[in-house]
A and B are shown apart, each in its own frame.
Chain A
Amino acid sequence: MYGLGILKGMGVTLKHFLDTYIEDLRFLGKGKRTDVAFNLRQGGRNQRLGLFTVEYPEEKIAVPERFRFIPFLVINNLDAEEDAGKIWCTSCGICAKVCPPQCIWIVRGTDPETGRPKPEPEEFYIDIDICMNCGLCAEFCPFDAIKMDHDYELASYDRTTHHIFDKARLSKEFRYWRSIAPTISAEEAEARGGWEHKDVLKEKAKASRAADKAAGAS
């Protein structure tokens, strides 16, 4: 019969429409902005029911570990016993070379006495207007010193003065990285052989080898 197709389609719309109310009733009094309600709407295994939307900013979807936004630089925890706040970056320049839009700027540090390069950046900038959040810098840094952040709420009123992040603005404690990426940071620590910076671990290994040798010689 002519018109039947339209009616059938209207049926689908009506079902969707009613479902939103059924969902409202279900959470009557408890409020829709709970984890339970969120998982019903957005979880993978829910039956499609009612609204699909998240009511930003009253609720937000927590981003997964691998989520990548503007990078940050890892520094030692500020309350660490040794080298508190020391930056992990050795200013090797690899991230500046892989960066596709070329928005990383690094001034390599020099030793004031010898004038030779030293493994620490003097300055480190990222132009976040240009950064395309590709994550290649974090992927190829051999020292796990640059990581992708999770904080995407970075809007500001003036891009010309606020959007070139310098070393201070970029630096975040190592414990922050552990907190936003528990699995990945653990994997990386395993690959390095400890929670500390690669070079620190190397020094330690060397020292212990030397101690072993000394012990063996005596």
Chain B
Amino acid sequence: MAENPAAEVTTANPVAEAIAALKAQFPDAVVEDNRKGYAGIVVDPEKLVEVATAARDTLGYNYLSSATAVDYLGKGDYFEMVYHTYRVPAGGPPLVIKARTPRDRATLPSVISVWPGADFQEREAYDLMGIRFEGHPNLKRILLWEGFDGHPLRKDWKEAYYEQDQKPFDSRWPQGRVYRAEERNPYGKNVRYPEGFTLDDFTPVGEAPNYDGVDLGINVQEMATPGLKTDRLVVNLGPHHPSTHGVFRMVVTLNGETVEDLQPVMGYLHRNHEKIGERNTFLQNMPFTDRLDYITSMSNNLGYALAVEHLLSLGPRYQPPTYRAEVIRVLMVELTRVVSHMWAIGFLLNDLGAFYTPALYAIAERELILDFFEAVAGSRMMCNYMRFGGVFKDLPERIQGIPLLANDRVRNEATLDYLANIINERLPRAIDELDDYLTHNEIIVTRCQGVGILPPEMAIAYSAAGPVLRASGVPYDVRRAEPYSIYPELDFDVAVRYNGDIYDRYLLRIDEMRQSVRILKQLLPRLRETEGQPIISGSKAYSPRVPEGEAYGRVENPKGELGYYVVSDGGQNPWRYHVRSPSYINLTALGPMAKGHKVADIVAILGSIDIILGEVDR
């Protein structure tokens, strides 16, 4: 555990300096983004890779947090690729780099050579927006299947069954004569195929080799390494496999028992969250964020609230959230962190073969925390608790059940006592018990130490975030690097471990839970002091006026950095709503981490990244 080294405060504005430096170096290729509410630079695509290299090498923007595309249909008619880059581990605000390409021949150079973490993100932009990235070594669809018609995040793409561009739909009121969506949208008729496409003749091109081993259409002998008695074999782990934590597939090329190559295949749970988000109003997105990483809905809420609050702050009469709201937000988010890490540790042990006993010990405390969420927010997992400018409701006085159904058992305790008991006694005890139970267990030690190593340079290059990054010796935590809410006044250390293997990722989560308990203890007196103060600033509006502009709200989620890139055109729906999902981007490093290990180790390595498919696929 290291003291926090990130707090190196520079008084001058580092981003302005960086922009000036880039403009000086590339006078023809770099212009500032002067649109109202926007920031960063717009770069000539020809020079994009050069500018990116300069930003990384001379200015230190070595970490690509998010890369995503925006379709400005009818507002200039171009695609804009937006890169949010940061200095790691130094911290500070982002340098936002943008590059534009016309809609009809959308092509941009790939920046994968500068930031390898762009790999999956560019594939996603290719898949959903239809931008080609020249120089990308593996430009295939990633979330959708190859026979899919069109690119669904384009503004002119409509679902086969489509009611209206934006919510609220006119058919619901005042003449809301109900029908079921399926009546207009019978099963099977909701898919559009490209012209001339017949499903019967379809063989997925890119995937054919993945199945070679399955029907034994390959000559195994031919592929055998001469002189060695090992065979190369392609094995599909998943999509329905207990070790994959959901519907997720790993195509593994094995040489004997050793992994030569690993390709993650995802998208089985893809529901086009971002398109839904762009049709929703700003407020309607809040409950949808719960459904990304469904273990951490409270902190998902916070990230989105931060992004929209930033946009709101561009307008007149903006009031920041009240102090009590911030205290409650941090309380919820840190409890969520404990919940999520407990879950991650429990399921890592599952992956190591200790079936469910450790998982159940780990998540027992979670029950009490979820009961608390239920009493405060109304739901255990789908909390929908944060609002722009504050939170939904203040903490209730008592955690009290109201009997309604037969056999209901009633619990009735004062909220603050209940919380104090969890924070001061139960959580520390449970963490110590887990520590006792697992840390020195020889099986865990031998299976985890030295396995799945991710060196620090690689962790940064691959845009790994959260525990995966910090267990590789990079002390980077958004709560310290670019603080939000009341974290600056709270006392805690950024947990960091140096070996970058599974074992350190496990230990790091234990460390981090201890730090969370430390934070929670500081919140209890603040909760008492602020009692009775307002929990939301301004009046609550169901359709707030969000000024034009862009915002990137990011929080340190338990699984890593969660970011929301939201663009508003001044209407009641977000023009662009992108989720930088830590689970998804952390998977970029899975292949390299798994190389050279055994099959059984992959399962543990995947477990140590801690992914949630709801967030990977969106």
Contact = CB atoms under 8 A, between A and B. Distances in A.
Interface of A: 2-6, 8-9, 12-13, 16, 35, 38-39, 42-45, 48, 52, 54, 57-68, 91, 93-94, 96-100, 102, 104-108, 117, 123, 125, 127, 130, 132-136, 139-140, 148, 150-151, 153, 160, 164, 179-183
Interface residues of B, number: 75
B168 A102 contact: yes
B172 interface: yes
A52 B364 contact: yes
B241 interface: no
Interface string B385-411: 000000011001101111111111111
Contact of A65 (B171, B396, B422): B396
Contacts of A107: 174-177
B72 interface: no
B178 A105 contact: yes
A42 B443 CA distance: 33
Contacts of B400: 64-65
A181 B378 CA distance: 12
A184 B365 CA distance: 28
Given A3-B442, A8-B436, A104-B172, A66 B377 contact: yes
Contacts of A151: 404-405
Contacts of A91: 173-174
Contacts of A38: 409, 411
Contacts of A150: 402, 404
A9 B280 CA distance: 50
Contacts of A63: 374, 401-402, 404
Nearest to A13: B357
Nearest to A163: B180
A52 B421 contact: no
A48 B426 CA distance: 8
A5 B439 CA distance: 8
A62 B178 contact: no
B401 A61 contact: yes
B409 to A, nearest CB: 4
Interface stretch (B6-14, B282-290, B478-486, B605-613): B282-290
Interface in B354-394: 357, 360-361, 364, 367-368, 371, 374-379, 382, 384, 392-393
Nearest to A102: B169
B442 A133 contact: no
Contact of A164 (B180, B280, B404, B437): B180
B296 to A, nearest CB: 17
B229 interface: no
B402 A39 contact: no
Contact of A140 (B371, B399, B542): B542
A61 B402 contact: no
CB-CB nearest 6 A-B residue pairs: A62-B401, A105-B176, A5-B440, A108-B174, A134-B287, A100-B284
B402 A98 contact: no
B180 A160 contact: yes
A123 B410 contact: no
B445 interface: yes
Contact of B168 (A6, A48, A54, A96): A96
